């Protein structure tokens, strides 16, 4: 059998990390990653069920692979992720895409090597989806995308049951890892050269880890202070934070924890208290604005990003105006904006007052104008400043570096500031994974452009 694999990932950072784990397990079995899906012996599609667009992309990608099977190509077709936790999706795959070999879900990723082994040996298709997650499996390998930064799951599942969201049904109830297990994992990552960790959970503010030492409970802020002490780790980030659970203790951690990045993704979803009630978000517009005020009072330089849904059932023009008003008051650094789409199996699916598509799109465009204006203004404030950037890799931009062109041994690079601003600049490729000082020379709506400051920054001598 062709011992290579290719993974296509849809969805959030949790899905990305799941794919890293699948990649790590396959690597331990002697499989090598294939850059081209068409050449892989095992093809895996890791799915997302949050948005309708992700569903369409998945089925479109699955359909593209049908020809390989019809032409007799002996490769394994595997599908996993959140969509597989829904029975109607599994039924659709079996009916319309019968050439899929393995279907598995979010709770039994650790079983994937065994599933591959069984399919290869028995030449039979397998569907293995667990309704609930069991005991948390520690020590799974992960093949990271970056050498210098890593995703770290601190908890799994969600208990919030927002009326529009399928995640509690696909990821299960909340389960927190023990803090010592998380610390041990991050210590090992630091020893392997990781400088930045992204802590992952559907709602990290709900983290409650049972300490091994005395059986007491460590909350999320306790965990942050523990990670802050780990030698070698330079930056700590986390996703995602629910406003209803954001404590003053956590706000204070932004002040006290030197390594905790001054950026926060705080999904608001709507600026209307009535819509928030119908969404089961359990806070009001006023609650959210008060939280933002506390954050900015404690950490004036903090960068705030958010998620906003446009066209939730029953959203009136007045409700939407409240969302625009909130965005103008908060002045977000950036926002992920979405058109509401019906998710089968959620309470909002049955709401009768669905918003017509043309109204959704009109509101969406108006919202994007407000958000982009805020983003551009926030970025413009960086021009002339010198910022510390962790170089992630080569830039995806081909031009727009203030007239600076790559010289001999130089290339276009990109990295992130403490506040998660994307910065493009010219430098040596060997700088990837290091910290550099960059003077910002120009600002765009979604990124910054700069130039490296100081000759010492053109090598990898010491970037700490």
Report pTM: 0.91
Verify that 163 and 47 share a domain, yes or no: no
User: Residue 189 to residues 151, 206, 267, 303, 415: CA-CA distances in angstroms?
Assistant: 10, 24, 29, 26, 20
Residues 180 and 194 in one domain: yes
Tokens 């290579």, residue located? 4
Low-confidence ranges of the chain (pLDDT < 50): 400, 402-403, 459-464
Last residue of a domain, one of 193, 226, 261: 261
CA distance 386 to 398: 23
Closest CA to 262 of 233, 242, 232, 238: 238
pLDDT for 457: 52
> Is 183 domain-assigned?
yes
221 within some domain: yes
- Residue 10 and residue 121 share a domain: yes
∠ CA 90-92-96, nearest 5°, is: 125
23 and 43 assigned to the same domain:
yes
Domain containing residue 273: CATH number:
3.30.750.200
- Per the domain annotation, does 137 fall within a domain? no
Domain boundary among 218, 241, 261: 261
Say if residue 116 is in the same domain as residue 149: no
What pLDDT shows up at residue 407?
A: 61
Decide if 315 is inside a domain: yes
- Find where tokens 């998945």 sit: 58
* 349 plus 394 within the same structural domain: no
In this structure, the answer to whether residues 121 and 94 fall within a common structural domain is yes
Give the CATH number, domain containing residue 25.
3.40.50.12160
Query: Per the domain annotation, does 248 fall within a domain?
Result: yes
Look at residue 133 and tell me if it is in a domain: no
Whether 242 is in a domain gets the answer yes
CATH number, domain of 417, equals 2.40.50
Structural domain harbouring 193: 144-261
Number of domains, the chain: 4
Same domain, yes or no, for 151 and 248?
Answer: yes
pLDDT of the residue at 404:
55
Which helix (H) or strand (E) element contains residue 424? strand 422-428
Same domain? For 335 and 396 the reply is: no
Are residues 348 and 421 both part of a single domain? no
**In a domain? residue 67:** yes
pLDDT in tens, 217-231: 999 999 999 999 999
- For residue 355, the SS3 value is coil
């Amino acid at each position: 059998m062709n011992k290579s694999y290719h993974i296509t990932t849809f969805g959030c950072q949790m899905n990305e990390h799941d794919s890293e784990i699948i990649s790590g397990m396959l690597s331990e079995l002697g499989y090598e990653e294939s850059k081209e899906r068409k050449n892989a012996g095992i093809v895996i599609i890791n799915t997302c069920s949050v948005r309708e667009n992700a569903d369409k992309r998945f089925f479109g990608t699955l359909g593209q692979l049908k020809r390989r099977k019809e032409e007799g190509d002996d490769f394994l077709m595997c599908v996993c992720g959140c969509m597989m936790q829904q029975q109607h999706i599994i039924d659709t795959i079996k009916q319309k895409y019968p050439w899929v070999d393995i279907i598995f879900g979010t709770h039994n990723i650790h079983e994937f090597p065994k599933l591959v082994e069984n399919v290869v040996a028995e030449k039979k298709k397998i569907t293995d989806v667990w309704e609930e997650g069991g005991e948390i499996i520690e020590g799974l390998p992960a093949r990271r995308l970056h050498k210098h930064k890593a995703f770290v799951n601190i908890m799994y599942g969600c208990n919030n049951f927002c009326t529009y969201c399928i995640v509690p049904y696909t990821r299960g109830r909340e389960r927190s890892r023990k803090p010592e297990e998380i610390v041990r994992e991050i210590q090992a990552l630091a020893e392997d050269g990781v400088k930045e960790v992204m802590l992952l959970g559907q709602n990290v503010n709900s983290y409650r880890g049972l300490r091994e030492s005395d059986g007491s409970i460590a909350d999320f802020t306790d965990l942050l202070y523990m990670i802050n002490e780990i030698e070698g780790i330079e930056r700590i980030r986390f996703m995602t934070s629910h406003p209803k659970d954001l404590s003053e203790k956590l706000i204070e951690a932004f002040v006290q924890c030197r390594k905790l990045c001054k950026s926060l993704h705080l999904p608001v979803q709507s600026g209307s208290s009535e819509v928030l009630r119908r969404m089961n978000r359990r806070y009001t517009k006023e609650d959210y604005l008060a939280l933002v005020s506390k954050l900015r009072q404690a950490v004036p330089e903090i960068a705030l990003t958010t998620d906003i849904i446009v066209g939730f059932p029953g959203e009136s023009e007045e409700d939407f105006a409240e969302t625009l008003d909130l965005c103008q008051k908060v002045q977000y650094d950036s926002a992920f904006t979405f058109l509401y789409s019906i998710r089968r199996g959620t309470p909002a699916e049955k709401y009768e007052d669905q918003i017509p598509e043309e109204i959704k799109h009109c509101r969406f465009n108006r919202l994007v104008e407000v958000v982009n204006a805020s983003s551009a203004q926030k970025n413009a404030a960086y021009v002339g400043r010198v910022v510390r950037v962790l170089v992630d890799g080569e830039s995806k931009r081909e031009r727009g570096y203030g007239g600076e062109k790559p010289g001999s041994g130089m290339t276009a690079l990109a990295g992130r500031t403490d506040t998660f601003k994307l910065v493009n600049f010219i430098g040596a490729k060997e700088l990837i994974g290091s910290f550099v000082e960059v003077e910002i020379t120009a600002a765009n709506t979604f990124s910054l452009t700069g130039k490296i400051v100081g000759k010492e920054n053109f090598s990898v001598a010491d970037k700490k």
